[in-house]
Amino acid sequence: MLLKSLNIPRAEFESATGWALKPEGACKNDICIPIPHANADIVHIPDLAAAMNLPLAAEPEANLWALGPDSIGGRALSGAKAPELTLPDRDGKAFSLSSLLGKKVLIYAWAPY
């Protein structure tokens, strides 16, 4: 998740990372990580990153940060439920994987280089 500020609205964090901040902690699927002040409206990313063991990379010259993914269980996937994936098409129109619920889906990754 890219950040231009280290203090962001809770909802922004939740929609970008898929983690829901509840009174009991940060929760995704069946996992809840206890964190202090989980229901604050504004989250301070360095504190949250430390509590959740999420990596935070910084580029001070551009005033830009990136919060990396969790590594729960030591794998890229912590569960088999497909995460939401929303990306633009050729015309910039956003498409969400969840719109294909009910069908089998094959996601095919390619690159032009």
Partner 1 sequence: MWQALRNEYKDQNFELITVGLDSLGIEGCGAFIDAAKPEHPSLIDQHHVLAELFGVINIPSSIWIDEQGMIVRPAEPAPAPAHLREDKSNTPNIAMPAEVPQRVIDMMTEAAKFPESKGEYHDALRDWVEKGADSAFAMNAEKVVARSRPRNLQSALGHAHFELASQLEIDGNHPLAVKHFRAAHELVPDSWTFRRQAWSLEQVGEGPISRFWQGPNPANPEDWPYTGDWLEDVKRAGAENYNEQWQP
Interface ranges with partner 1 (CB under 8 A): 1-2, 53-59, 61-62, 64-71, 73-83, 85, 87-90, 95, 97-98, 100-113
Which residues contact residue 1 at a Cβ distance below 8 angstroms, ignoring those fewer than 6 apart? Answer: 13, 16, 17, 66, 67
- In DSSP terms, 94 is beta-bridged to 88
- Residue 17 near residue 67, CB atoms below 8 Å: yes
- Report the residue number, 34 or 73, with the smaller CB distance to partner 1: 73
- Report the residue number, 24 or 66, with the smaller CB distance to partner 1: 66
Return the closest-CA partner of residue 42 out of 10, 86, 82: 10
Return the closest-CA partner of residue 78 out of 110, 32, 9: 32
CB of 23 to partner 1, least distance (A): 26
CB of 94 to partner 1, least distance (A): 9
- Report the residue number, 39 or 73, with the smaller CB distance to partner 1: 73
- Report the residue number, 41 or 57, with the smaller CB distance to partner 1: 57
CB of 36 to partner 1, least distance (A): 20
